[in-house]
Structures are given as structure tokens and as C-alpha cells.
Amino acid sequence: MLAEQRARAIVELVNQKGFQTIDALAGEFGVSPQTIRRDVNSLNDQGLLRRRHGGVELPQQGENLAYPARQQLNLAAKRTIAQLLAADVPERASLFIGIGTTPELCALALVQHAQLRVMTNNLNAAMRLARNPDCDLVVAGGRVRNLDLDVVAGEAHDFFSRFSVDIGIFGVGAVAPDGTLLDFSLDEVAMRQSLMRHCRQRFLVVDHSKFTRDATVRGGHITDASAVYSDRPLPSLIRAMLATAGVRVVVPTLPPTSGEQP
């Protein structure tokens, strides 16, 4: 395994299981503890993970991972979600696209759609969609968060309120067990809530890991969505809430188990 591949795998393992010791990682990847220490030092310097005595952990609870780490985290799951969502977006639709890595991949999945009109504060998503000369693309103005390449503060708060669109596509930092939507800053929540108020359908894109994560700022509830797209079946309590509220849930169709007819 190449060093870059191993680093991505370390980030995903720590995200899934929490604190990992140097020795455990060395055993997991079949390399020396010295090699793992170099990997951990590099990941710490990049802000992707946090070095701790004897091992490595996620950034402090309530902090988000750096954007490059999030782009690699659960990548296959996010691509699955993006394809599910793209199948439900008609051509010639008007869209909002919010911040985050899953909305960015949704933008990529929509590149071949004809005559979309898209308003976004996610510069990563905008760069994906800019490849399609047929897409009418409007980007929020204001101060850019350099590491995330998005716009969430100041005058950007009024951006989505200037439009009324068919579909709003958005992610969240985490979903609490009671369905509360969580993010990492007041500005992120304010932008998401503005997006949700000014679209006719609200499509939440959220991979399975968001149901076990934590974030510090509350804003809205999962039942505020019109549809929820995920890569796995949702937790049972969340499913029950959404069913009661009439919110559509879209997850991949599972292949039949052994002995079942297709």
C-alpha cells in the first residue's frame, strides 16, 4: 500500500473507530511503528487528525475534519448518494446546492444534466458544474473560507433569499439521535436554514457516518426535509420519524440474500 493510500485509510479507520494506538495501526497495515509515526505526524500537520500520546484521534469533539480529509472519507458512500439523487433531479430544474463534500459530489453527478439553473455558496460544487456550458450558474459573493472553499458569512446570508427554486440540496455535520440537524458554526446553520426556506423540495444528502457523529450548533430537524438520501438504511428511530412525517427515504436497493428470489 502506498503512503498516500495508507494515510487515507488511517483517517477513515479513526473516523469509524476513534482513537487508535501506533502499535495497532502498525499491525493493521503491516508496517513498522516508525512508519506509522511519520504518517501520523503528517496527518496532524495537515489538520486531518490529531496526534495524542501513543496514538492518533479525531480533532476535538465538535470540530470538523479538514476539507481534504472529508473529501476522501466514505467516498464510495457519497458517490452512491450522489447517483441516487441525480436520478431524481429532472433536466431544466432550478437548484440550490449547499456546502460540504456530499453536495459537491452531487454537483459532479449532475454535470451532464441539461439546462440546469444552479445557485450555490459551495465553490467546489461550482467548479464541478462550470464544466457544463449549458448550466446557468450563480455563486454567492462574500468572504471565502479558504480551507473549505465556500461562502457562509456576512452578506452571503441573504443569498438564497433572493431566489425561489425547485430543489435545495444540502448536507449537515451530524444528525442527533432525536433527528436534530447539527453543524459546526452558526454561519453554516444560518445558510442551510435560508436554503431550506426558499426551495420547494428539500433534499438532504447524508452518509451513514453522520448518524454517529457530533457537532455543536443546532438548526432544524430531519423531518424538515422532503427527502433523505443515504448509502445505508437509516437508524430505526429516524426511519420511524420520517415515516410519520411523510418524508421520502432513498437508499440503495439491497441485493437479495441467499435463497431469495430476485
Domains and CATH numbers, the chain: 3-59 (1.10.10.10), 70-250 (3.40.50.1360)
The mean pLDDT value of the chain amounts to: 90
The four Cα atoms 123, 200, 239, 11 give a dihedral, to 10 degrees, of 0
Distance CA 11, CA 239 (A): 29
Query: Looking at the predicted structure, is the pLDDT value of residue 261 above 50?
Result: no
pLDDT, position 161 = 95
Distance CA 15, CA 49 (A): 9
pLDDT, position 61 = 54
% of the chain beyond a pLDDT of 70: 92
Q: Between the ranges 58-72, 79-93, 200-214, 245-259, where is the mean pLDDT highest?
A: 79-93
Contact 118, 137 (CB under 8 A): yes
pLDDT, position 258 = 46
Mean pLDDT in residue range 121-138: 96
pLDDT, position 259 = 44
Sequence letter at residue 70: R
pLDDT, position 71 = 73
Query: Looking at the predicted structure, is the pLDDT value of residue 256 above 60?
Result: no
* 69 — pLDDT class (breaks 50, 70, 90): low
Distance CA 38, CA 59 (A): 18
Place of cell 421520502: 248
Query: Looking at the predicted structure, is the pLDDT value of residue 255 above 60?
Result: no
Residue with more model confidence, 174 or 50: 174
Mean pLDDT in residue range 113-140: 96
pLDDT digits (tens, 9 = 90+) for 194-237: 999 999 999 999 999 899 888 889 999 999 999 999 999 999 99
DSSP 8-state assignment for residue 163: -
- What is this structure's pTM? 0.78
- Given the DSSP bridges, would you call strands 55-57 and 199-205 parallel, antiparallel or unpaired? unpaired
Burial class (CB in 10 A: 0-12, 13-18, 19+), 243: exposed
- Give Dmax (Cα) for the chain: 58
* 192 Cβ contact list (under 8 Å, min separation 6): 98, 99, 170, 172, 181, 183, 219, 220
Distance CA 206, CA 180 (A): 13
**Residue 21: count of CB within 10 angstroms of its CB:** 15
